[in-house]
């Protein structure tokens, strides 16, 4: 048997959130990933974020591609429908699902091989369309599931476990997302849960496409000296931009802030992001500045984490298409079929 049922023993004193669920209700099957895999920490952060956001677990649709990272949706939100699609093509499936029912919360989970190699096209086009989703790339610079080949985010010159040096330049998904106009762009680190949970909460609450690139070291294939995605390397080069807290159900606070202060960004669903700006010059609503900032730090060999960009007034694909508020999958023959009389008119016009 390759699945393990988790004992569902609820401790009576487990605290419940506003919609009556315990943290346990946001868990899934026991992970089959390598112990210590960064992806499991991200799963834990997703569980925490959904619980704190009071999202009803079954109102989340979790979709993924193929890879170790893409297996993770089985390991959280056990009462949600999950869909492990094909390699690199999660964005299109999620787009279709989202078109069918705009009433759910969409979470896309992918890997760097999945999104930056085979799925680069779909990554790019989901952003272009502004699909309302939290798109999490669990980025370890390697193909985990196929055992250690380089992915397209692997740094040039980094060395694989087998001792091969990577001669190709990396693709930076954050830079790309900013360039393409994603309305929420963030980067986290799987080992930094204090920062990651709010970033996920922000992404889930954001209407429009939210890209969250999470550096997620692979203990099996990318945690050795010479790798630029190892725990040690990232910790040394991590330049935290800001910290954010989510404050529920509060009125919007104006976006006006000074170095060292807090900035509140109101999202469409009413949640408020509180950004603690550590860098005195950083303004996450300024996309062009974000691009420059990311590029600058990249050139210094640093990994920038935090909420790099958010457009609080973003529209999403349904907005662009002008679709009705009722989910399309709930419309029936009465709403959809023009009927026999209209057809008779059409016939008459074709004679």
Partner 1 sequence: MTPIAAVNDFVVKFANVNGSGSASANELFARAILRMGVPVSPRNIFPSNIQGLPTWYEVRVSEAGWLGRRGGVDLLVQMNPQTWDADVAELPAGGYLLYDSSRPLPPGRLRDDIVVLGVPLTRICAEHYQDPRQRQLFKNIMYLGVLSVLLGIEREAIVRLVGEQYRGKEKLLEANLGALDLGRAHALAHFPDGIGLQVRAADAVGERIFMEGNAAVALGMVYGGATVCAWYPITPSSSVAEAFQKYCQKFRSGEDGNRHAIIQAEDEIASIGMVVGAGWNGARAFTATSGPGVSLMTEFIGLAYMAEIPATIVNVQRGGPSTGMPTRTQQADLLSCAYASHGDTRHVMLFPEDPAECFAFAADALDLADRLQTPVFLMTDLDIGMNQRLCAPLAWDDARRYDRGKVLSAAQLEDGREFGRYLDADGDGIPWRTWPGTHPTRGAFFTRGTTKDPWARYSERGPDYVYNIERLRRKWRTASDLVPAPVPTAAAQGARAGVIHYGSTSPAMAEALAALAAAGLHLDALRLRAFPFPQSVLEFIEDHERVFVVEQNADGQMRMLLVNEFGVDPAHLVPVLHYDGTPITARFIVDAITAVLGASPVRPQPERVS
Ligand X SMILES: Cc1ncc(C[n+]2csc(CCOP(=O)(O)OP(=O)(O)O)c2C)c(N)n1
Nearest-approach distance from CB 203 to ligand X, in angstroms: 19
Nearest-approach distance from CB 66 to ligand SF4, in angstroms: 12
Q: Give the footprint of partner 1 on this chain (CB under 8 A).
A: 1-3, 56-59, 61, 63, 73-74, 78-86, 89, 91-101, 103-104, 121-122, 124-125, 129, 318, 321-325, 328-329, 331-333, 335-340, 342-344, 346-347, 350-351
Neighbours of 3 (CB within 10 A): 8
Query: Strand, coil or helix: what is 186?
Result: strand
Q: Is 151 in the site for ligand X (CB under 6 A)?
A: yes
Q: Give the footprint of ligand SF4 on this chain (CB under 6 A).
A: 33-34, 37, 39, 68, 140, 144-145, 218-221
Q: Is 42 in the site for ligand X (CB under 6 A)?
A: no
Binding part of the chain for ligand X, among 99-107, 108-116, 229-237, 286-294 by CB under 6 A, reads: 108-116
Nearest-approach distance from CB 137 to ligand X, in angstroms: 8
Q: 64 - beta bridge partners?
A: 84, 109
Binding part of the chain for ligand X, among 111-119, 121-129, 287-295, 303-311 by CB under 6 A, reads: 111-119
| 55, 175, 170, 237: CA torsion to nearest 10 | -80
Q: Which of 273, 232, 233 is nearest to 252 (CA)?
A: 273
Partner from ligand SF4, ligand X, partner 1, none contacting 34, C-beta within 5 to 8 A by type: ligand SF4
Radius of gyration of the chain (CA): 21
Q: Which of 105, 155, 111 is nearest to 316 (CA)?
A: 105
* Cα gap 154→26, rounded to integer Å: 32
Cα angle for residues 173, 140, 182 (degrees, 5° grid): 20
Tokens of 187: 């980067």
Per CB under 6 A, residues contacting ligand X are 66-69, 87, 111-114, 138, 140, 142-146, 151
């Amino acid at each position: 048997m390759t699945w393990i049922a988790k004992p569902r023993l609820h401790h009576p004193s487990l605290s419940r959130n506003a919609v009556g669920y315990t943290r346990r209700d946001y868990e899934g099957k026991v992970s089959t990933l390598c112990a210590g895999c960064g992806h499991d920490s991200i799963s834990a952060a997703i569980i925490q974020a959904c619980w704190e956001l009071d999202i009803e677990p079954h109102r989340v649709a979790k979709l993924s591609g193929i890879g170790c990272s893409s297996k993770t949706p089985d390991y959280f939100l056990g009462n949600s429908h999950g869909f492990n699609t094909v390699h690199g093509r999660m964005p299109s499936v999620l787009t279709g699902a989202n078109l069918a029912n705009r009433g759910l919360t969409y979470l896309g989970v992918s890997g760097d091989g999945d999104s930056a190699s085979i799925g680069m096209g779909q990554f790019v086009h989901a952003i272009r369309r502004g699909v309302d989703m939290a798109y999490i790339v669990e980025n370890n610079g390697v193909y985990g599931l196929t055992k250690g080949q380089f992915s397209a985010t692997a740094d040039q010159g980094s060395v694989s476990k087998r001792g091969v040096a990577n001669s190709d330049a990396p693709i930076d998904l954050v830079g790309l997302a900013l360039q393409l106009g994603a309305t929420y762009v963030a980067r986290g680190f799987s080992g930094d849960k204090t920062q990651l949970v709010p970033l996920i909460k922000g992404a889930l609450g954001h209407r429009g496409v939210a890209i969250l690139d999470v550096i997620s070291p692979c203990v099996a294939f990318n945690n050795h000296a010479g790798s630029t995605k190892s725990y040690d390397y990232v910790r040394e080069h991590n330049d935290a931009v800001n910290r954010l807290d989510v404050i529920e159900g509060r009125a919007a606070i104006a976006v006006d802030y000074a170095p060292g202060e807090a900035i509140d960004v109101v999202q469409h669903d009413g949640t408020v992001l509180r950004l603690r700006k550590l860098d005195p010059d950083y303004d996450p609503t300024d996309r062009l500045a974000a691009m420059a900032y990311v590029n600058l730090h990249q050139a210094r060999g640093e990994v920038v984490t935090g909420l790099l960009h958010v457009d609080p007034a973003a529209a999403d694909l349904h907005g662009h298409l002008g679709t009705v508020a009722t989910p399309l999958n709930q419309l029936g023959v009465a709403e959809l079929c023009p009927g026999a009389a209209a057809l008779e008119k059409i016939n008459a016009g074709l004679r």
